[in-house]
Structure 1
Amino acid sequence: MKNLNLNLQKNAISAALGLVLVGSSSFAAHADSFAEALTSGKANANLNLRYESVDQDNDVKDASALTLRTLLSYTTGDLNGFSAKVEVEDTRIVLGQGDYTVGPSGYNPGVYSVIADPEHTELDQGYIQYKNDTVTAKIGRQVIALDGHRFVGHVGWRQDRQTFDAASVKVTPSKDLTLQYAYVTQRNRIFGEDADLDAKDHFINASYKTSVGTLTGYSYLLEVDNDTDNGLDTYGVSFAGATKAGDTKIIYRAEYATQTSESATTEYDASYLNLEAGAVISGITAKLGYEVLGSDDGAYGFSTPLATLHKFNGWSDQFLATPTQGLVDTSFTLKGKAFGGGWTATYHVFDADDSADSGIDDLGTELNVSYVKNFGKHYTAAIKYAAYSAGDTKVDADKLWAWVTVKF
């Protein structure tokens, strides 16, 4: 009996040691996989040196800025579909060329015209991601850009781009259908941390590709989390595509949205319309655009506060906030290639959607021209100019940009 007990004890000890060894081996394997995922990632850098000048017929001094934006990121390797990304952003004034105003950051308030590139250092992105063949999910600080940036974008034109603290998911159940949702708890705006906003935003977007274009439906339900009653709810649909007519490519877009803006004391309703038609002939693109950010009887203008606004309604940024009279932007654009780079020229005519009793109807005109050229995979140089001529409101303004970007 004694020998039997000894044998049982020996067998139990052997089994326990075996489990420990197997567990240790499994733990070591997982640890090795985790370490490999952390160390087998990819590092990236993006440096953007830009000069900007602003000449306006107003009471403040003309502005000029030479700033360098540095973007450093590291994305880990994949471990069972999981990965992570960390990205840090920094902007500095170069050679003391900082004669400009950034109101929200308190830099030279009321002295110069505005150039919205404050000196800053911050976490640009920091998220954990899960991805498989159908689903991509992220939680943390991230870039979100939808619908060509018209309603939700990263404002990448500015040196401090816009990101969101959010949980997001993108599902592609088929190659033609894409479903996206994001819940945002903080909007990280373009003025460093000085203008960040706590939020309770919902982004809902679904798109379906057909042989003649993409049909998209969306709901953007925005709320600033500041213990007040507020809401900005937008529902819309768009269709955009292209077709061939012989050697000519025909491009088209139609979009319509409705919006309700609510506070404790007011409620406004406005609508949005965007129509585009164009053609590509011998490498030259010609496009006519008609965009209406509607008004509620001259008291409120359709708003897109999270858009990459510089991309729309003129590069001089006269209409970052829609006038209460609304905005009708009729534009004509030409684009093409020359000397190894790309050029663009756009002319805008701005009118009020509803002048009501304000007497404001003519909102001015604007000419935009640019030239961008890549030098290999890592270098880009560009120049851009905007000339705004005032109408019944605002003042004339000229803006010039020149920049060099290095990325690797």
Structure 2
Amino acid sequence: MLKKSCLLAAISVLSISTPAMAGVGDPIPLGDDLVMDITANARVRYETVDQDNALGNADALTVRARVGATFSAWGIQMLVEGEGTTALVDDFNDTLPGNGVEPFSVVADPDNLELNRAQISYMKDGSGITLGRQRIIMGNARFVGNVGWRQNEQTFDAVRAQAKLGVVNFDGVYATSNRTIFGVDSPNEHFDGDMFLLNAGLDLEAVDVTAFAYILEFDTRAAFSSETFGLTASTAIPLGSTNVTLSATYATQSDADLNPANYTADFISVTAGVGVAGFNLSANYEELGSDGGVAAFQTPLATLHAFQGWADIFLTTPAAGVRDYNASIARQFALPGIGNVNAAVAYHKFESDFGSVSYGSEWDASLGFRLAGVGMLLKYANYNSSGFSVDTQKLWLQAEFGF
């Protein structure tokens, strides 16, 4: 009862506060050419994890606040942003070693207070440069993302150059530090090294094509040092009153720098989608290959929660690799007093790339809508292990607003 009361109280505060925030985020003139923008975001989330093992069920009620200021003058922008997370209900393993043995399942949202971003940039017509601690999302975040699902997002200490010249796009990053989701009190708070992240694309009328290269040389995370080269293409084909969308990605990865493994593995993803009678249907095959069961294709900088199921079973690719056969259906509909509601259901079937091992299956479902200006989200994941890992169920109820 206490947990439910805390959750309802926190969401009520968000709902009541939101209308009063209207207009607060308007630009503030500080001089003839200098303007300041204040941005803020708050997120309250209840997460429960039930696993078929000896660990107790996790119950986590966390609040994340993020506040920043952007100063703009002469086309130059300077952004400073802080981020803090705290737990109102903390019956969960937050991954921090200083809390002793936690008899609960993991919810990777530890208490944290940090400088999230501090950057200076110049951008004009899609071209420019950004220097400092920054959020980086490349493409669909399958290889490089900000892990925005967790309360503490992933950022990078980096220099980023972007250019748009007609139909040609270039996005290049050199990062010296990967600031993880685990917070300032974690031994995994950051991983330093030399990270080269390169995308070059063509936005053509019939098809979009992007070539990419990700070269990771970690100082202390040697097992994830790698060189990845690949190509992705996407298109939309008219079909009556709708479009069929098609996309495909191929990449090859090999060990680099101090990685103790000697391997080469492939990545394949093929997706087809179509809208039918108000429903969006999608089917996907994704393969993170294995080199004979010795080592597998890894994506340590990705927004992993968005792929291979929301239960987060495959955050590190098993040495035998992963094949994910999945399909989803989504629809938007209106409810009286609420408005538009986005609903989605997805199914995954997992198996190894090497050795023909069944990794089980997973059902995912979500409902999202806005209530009094607050973004509300209900999500559920149910992973059936088939003996590979452990059966896992996760449930989330989230409220978020910002300006």
Q: Smaller-chain TM-score range?
A: 0.7 to 0.9
Q: Select the residue among 208, 211, 214 that pairs with 1:217.
A: 211
1:218 is aligned with what amino acid? F
Taking every aligned residue pair, what percent have the same amino acid on both sides?
33
1:128 to 120, 125, 138: 120
Q: Partners of 1:162 and 1:265 in 2: how far apart?
A: 26
Show CA shifts across 1:332-378 (max 9, x none): 100111231101100000011102xxxx60000000000000236x4
Match of 1:181?
Answer: 172
Higher relative contact order by CA 8 Å / sep ≥ 6: 1 or 2? 2
**Cα distance, 1:323 vs structure 2:** 0.7
Q: Does 1:239 align with 2:233?
A: yes
The match for 1:295 is 290
**Counterpart AA for 2:205:** S
Task: Give the counterpart letter for 2:383 in structure 1.
Answer: Y
Report if the CA contact (8 A) 2:242-2:275 is conserved. yes
Structure 1: tracts of 5 or more residues without a match: 1-32
Q: Is the 8 A contact 2:92 2:102 kept in 1?
A: no
Between Structure 1 and Structure 2, how many residues are aligned?
A: 366
Q: Which secondary structure state, in structure 2, belongs to the residue aligned with residue 310 of structure 1?
A: helix
Contact map agreement 1:361 1:392 (CA 8 A) in 2? no
* Aligned equivalent of 1:271, options 266, 269, 280: 266
1 CA distance for matches of 2:230 and 2:63? 38
The reply on whether 1:256 has 2:250 as its aligned counterpart is: yes
Point out the structure with max Rg over C-alpha.
Answer: 1
Give how far 1:36 is off.
4.7
For residue 148 of structure 1, give the secondary structure of its aligned residue in structure 2.
coil
* 2:105 equivalent to 1:113: yes
Whole-angstrom distance in 2 between the partners of 1:67 and 1:319: 24
For the residues of structure 1 that align with 2:52 and 2:113, how far apart are their CA atoms? 33
SS in 2 for 1:149: coil
**Partner of residue 353, structure 1:** 353
Distance 1:35 1:399 in 2: 50
In structure 2, C-alpha distance between the alignment counterparts of 1:300 and 1:164, rounded to whole Å: 26
1:282 offset after TM fit, Å?
Answer: 2.6
In 2: Cα distance, 1:153 partner to 1:163 partner: 8
TM-score by length of 2: 0.87
The alignment status of 1:99 with 2:91, answered yes or no, reads: yes
Deviations 1:234-261 (A, max 9, x none): 0000001222111122011111000002
Task: Describe the superposition over 1:258-287 as per-residue Cα deviations: whole angstroms up to 9, x where unpaired.
Answer: 000243643111000000112112321111
> For the structure 1 residues 36 and 165, does the alpha-carbon distance in structure 2 shift closer, same or farther, using more than 3 Å as the test?
farther
Q: Normalising to structure 1: TM-score of the pair?
A: 0.86
- Aligned equivalents of 1:111, 1:192: Cα separation in 2: 21
Letter in 2 for 1:351: E
1:155 is matched with: 147
Q: Whole-Å Cα distance in 2 between the matches of residues 227 and 395 of structure 1?
A: 27
Structure-2 separation of matches of 1:55 and 1:254? 35
8 Å CA contact retained: 2:309, 2:348: yes
Match of residue 343 from structure 2: 343
Letter in 1 for 2:283: L
Specify the alignment match of 1:374 in structure 2.
370
Distance across 2 between alignment mates of 1:379 and 1:239 = 36
- Once the two structures are TM-superposed, the CA of residue 37 in structure 1 deviates from its matched residue by 4.8
Q: Which residue of 2 aligns with 1:197?
A: 191
Unaligned runs of 5+ in 2: 1-28
More helix by proportion, 1 or 2? 1
- State the alpha-carbon separation in 2 of the partners of residues 83 and 226 from structure 1: 33
